[in-house]
Chain A
């Protein structure tokens, strides 16, 4: 039973990872692409790891997967923040139809 639930979680994770990659193709600028890639890939990969935990049970492999989920949730948003900040500092423009850019206004 646990194995079936684990496989379902892995399938859900693969779907979300696919949406993250689709966002890289469809969205217009780096900031929007980071949105889709970080959100979908964090939850998708965590879902795959959770599926592995259910599939393997509390064995050394499964517990390492649990630890990986925690580290992923702590570090993936930091990498998104660093990429967005460095892109903005090195002068990458927002999309033409963006509404406002308070960060650029404050930096002047």
Chain B
């Protein structure tokens, strides 16, 4: 039941943002469609309803968004400077890093954040052993521990508090 309510609230919020008109007709259609979606597909999306009750996670999410946007802007300026440099200073390679995150949502957010972070892109995830394969356009270290410290650590620390 909890999973259905969570999915219904999410679906209804998305509906309001999509339609952005507050006439009764639109709201009633949104409620009907939200109930249909949440009754039929709730067990596919929400695995652990209890983590939604923890207020601290939302605060960490609010802290994570500006950090992430700042990294994203830095990544773009870094990529643009490399592109306009006449010598094209890249030093690419695929390195292997460790992660301690276990949940699906946490891994997805970590991989997405790493793709938009300066110089790194996720190529594959080995979920059983907790390894990520990262294409790094400026390889500073091939050692697993050192690369983990340089690439993953900053986001993993925050994402662990949000999703685990």
Contact = CB atoms under 8 A, between A and B. Distances in A.
A97 B87 CA distance: 14
Interface of A: 16, 19, 22-23, 26-27, 29, 31-32, 34-36, 38-40, 42-44, 58-60, 63-64, 66-67, 73-74, 77-78, 80-81, 84-85, 88, 94-95, 97-104, 106
A23 B83 contact: yes
Interface residues of B, number: 37
B94 A64 contact: no
B42 interface: no
27 contacts: A16-B76, A19-B83, A23-B79, A26-B83, A32-B137, A35-B79, A35-B121, A35-B135, A38-B116, A39-B115, A43-B116, A44-B76, A60-B19, A64-B17, A66-B17, A67-B17, A73-B112, A73-B116, A81-B122, A81-B123, A85-B123, A99-B91, A100-B93, A102-B95, A102-B133, A103-B96, A103-B124
Interface of B: 14, 17-21, 72-73, 75-76, 79-80, 83-84, 88, 90-96, 108, 111-112, 115-116, 119, 121-124, 133, 135, 137, 139, 142
Majority SS at the chain B contact face: mixed
Contacts of A106: 96, 133
B20 A59 contact: yes
